């Protein structure tokens, strides 16, 4: 699967998927075949970080 390249759209997509489909970022990455580090780096560039407790990027 190709994830959105725009970081803001990626943020929206990932948080929606985490809310509706997956129990954790690791589950999402495994299912989509993407590297967690890649997502975290792209979203860190716009000052968002994964919050394990909330299961979303904040």
Report pLDDT for 19.
98
In eight-state DSSP terms, residue 34 is -
Report pLDDT for 18.
98
Global pTM?
A: 0.93
Report pLDDT for 48.
98
| Radius of gyration of the chain from its Cα atoms, rounded to whole angstroms | 10
Query: How many other C-beta atoms lie within 10 A of the C-beta of residue 50?
Result: 20
Report pLDDT for 27.
98
Q: For residues 44 and 38, is the Cβ–Cβ distance under 8 A? A: no
């Amino acid at each position: 699967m190709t994830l959105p390249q725009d970081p803001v759209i990626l943020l929206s997509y990932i948080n929606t998927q985490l809310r509706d489909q997956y129990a954790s970022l690791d589950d999402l990455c495994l299912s989509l075949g993407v590297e967690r580090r890649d997502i975290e780096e792209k979203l860190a560039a716009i000052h968002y970080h994964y919050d394990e407790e909330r299961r979303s990027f904040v």
